[in-house]
Structure 1
């Protein structure tokens, strides 16, 4: 029988705004490094960080819930000038946070 993947819970936010700035900077760098740097990448990172900050201020600590909130709310973002979409952004946020926690996010020993 397969086991469910355990939830990943962040520590309660001591400074959600600082966390959001850190996330915005790292997400922007990630976006620019994946394809060509685009002006819209700053706006994407800014919007994702705003969602993250609000969620953290509301007491959300579950990584899965944070990712779902980003997917849901980024659906309203205009990605027409970008290579990305809401799922790519939410996955990148997840990867960035997992890496910061020292959690290997690679599957199957890759």
Structure 2
């Protein structure tokens, strides 16, 4: 029988500005590199980082819960001028966070 994947709990938030800027910049870069650089990418990265940080400030450190929060709140974002969706954004945030923790995102191995 397969084993459940243990939750990934982030360390407590220490520096709001540093973490918000790191996520915004790295997500923006990822968005521009994944398809074409678009002006909307900056807005998407900013909005996703705001959601992520707000939930972190509220004490949420479980990465899975943070991803669900991004999907849920980004549903109200207008993606008509973008190649992306709320799911792609949440998955990209998850991958960026996992990579920053040294976790391989390919196959779920450390």
Structure 1 CA distance, aligned partners of 2:62 and 2:53? 13
Task: Name the residue aligned to 2:25.
Answer: 25
| TM-score for the superposition, normalised by structure 2 | 0.96
Tell me if structure 2 keeps the 8 A contact 1:95–1:105. Answer: yes
Structure 2 CA distance, aligned partners of 1:12 and 1:37? 33
Pairs aligned (count): 109
Structure 1 CA distance, aligned partners of 2:52 and 2:85? 17
Output the aligned Cα RMSD: 1.2
After TM superposition, what 4+ stretches of structure 1 lie above 6 angstroms from structure 2? Answer: none
Structure 1 CA distance, aligned partners of 2:10 and 2:85? 25
Unaligned runs of 5+ in 2: none
Structure 1 CA distance, aligned partners of 2:37 and 2:108? 31
Unaligned runs of 5+ in 1: none
The alpha-carbon deviation at position 108 of structure 1 amounts to 7.7
| TM-score for the superposition, normalised by structure 1 | 0.96
Structure 1 CA distance, aligned partners of 2:40 and 2:3? 40
Task: Name the residue aligned to 2:40.
Answer: 40
